[in-house]
Amino acid sequence: MPRILPAGEHYGTTARRWVGDGFALHLVSYAANARYALHGNERASLLFLDRGHCRKRVGAGDLELADGAAVFLPPARLHTDWFPTATTFFAAELAEQLLCRLAEAGVRLDDHVQLAPHTARELIARLRRELAESDTASPLVLEGVLLHALVSASRSRVAPRNRRPPWLTRVRELLHDRALGPLRLGDIAAAVDVHPGHLSREFHRFFGVAPGNYVRQLRVEYAARRLADGDAPLSEIALAAGFADQSHFARTFRRATGRTPREHRRLARTAG
């Protein structure tokens, strides 16, 4: 039976909380490789990914959320979560009266929607600035950021230019299939019959991350599983994951996860 989390409760660790008129904003962190089974939230929510990576399965589709991504979820919208790396969210819970006010103004949100990447990055930057130097006017500023996000999400649902082209799903499948081997953007573009520049722009617009960074993240996730599940030498895992050498692997892994490959292996075994 899927669980519906009551208002104020989140999986992960809540570090800070801010409250305003019709909303509560939480700073929530999740450990690397944390997974959460099918669940929903009592209140509608806006999730702003501050750092890290989250793969959300909503219905039959996956949402890839990387640094600077944002998504709206209506009340009780069921989903699963996987955090391949340590991740931090600004999670805003939205009161029903706030959504009602927006609906009366013609802003309707009845399903999940991911914000356009450039809009999400701008709003997250505004959140960071305001929360770093908050004062008595901050609740009003934060409400303005959330309203901006909700209006943008509503417009994204109705604007045809923001509908994901079907070929992008095939691109993502190809990146998953070929992530560990030699990969050229031109080959992927040729496979779906689009120009490489157009592929790169549209992939970043809809998934919030460049194709190359997406592949790098897949390689890190593969390496993290190998480190946790066996005793293979780091050099062997580095080559299998598509990295040039062990040094390159170690630098990339630490940048993505916040720990070295050896530290990840040790922590994974301790947790196991």
User: Tell me, what CATH number does 40's domain have?
Assistant: 2.60.120.10
| Domains contained in the chain, number | 2
CATH of residue 265's domain is 1.10.10.60
Same domain, 49 and 158: yes
Alpha-carbon distance of 206 to 156, in angstroms, equals 11
Same domain, 250 and 172: yes
Structural domain harbouring 53: 3-162
Nearest CA among 46, 2, 1 for reference residue 28: 46
Q: Is the pTM of this model over 0.85?
A: no
CA dihedral 18, 20, 25, 27 (to 10 degrees): -10
**Which tokens hold the place of 10?**
């989140």
- Residue 236, helix vs strand vs coil: helix
Same domain, 138 and 211: no
Residue 164: DSSP 8-state:
P
Nearest CA among 228, 218, 217 for reference residue 272: 228
Same domain, 23 and 143: yes
Phi-psi region of 6 (alpha: psi -120 to 50; beta: other; left: phi over 0): beta
- Residue 48, helix vs strand vs coil: strand
Residue 6: DSSP 8-state:
P
Same domain, 158 and 175: no
Per-residue pLDDT of the chain (272 residues; tens, 9 = 90+): 688 999 889 999 999 988 888 899 999 999 999 999 999 999 999 999 999 999 998 877 788 888 889 999 999 999 999 999 999 999 999 999 888 888 887 888 888 888 888 889 999 998 998 888 777 778 878 888 899 998 888 877 644 455 788 899 999 999 999 999 888 888 998 999 888 888 888 888 888 888 888 898 899 999 999 998 888 899 999 999 988 888 988 998 888 888 899 998 888 888 76
Alpha-carbon distance of 205 to 202, in angstroms, equals 5
Residue range 222-251, pLDDT digits in tens: 999 999 888 889 999 999 998 888 898 899
Same domain, 71 and 203: no
Q: In degrees, to the nearest 5, what angle opens at C-alpha 91 toward C-alphas 86 and 96?
A: 155
Of 162, 183, 200, which residue sits at a domain end? 162
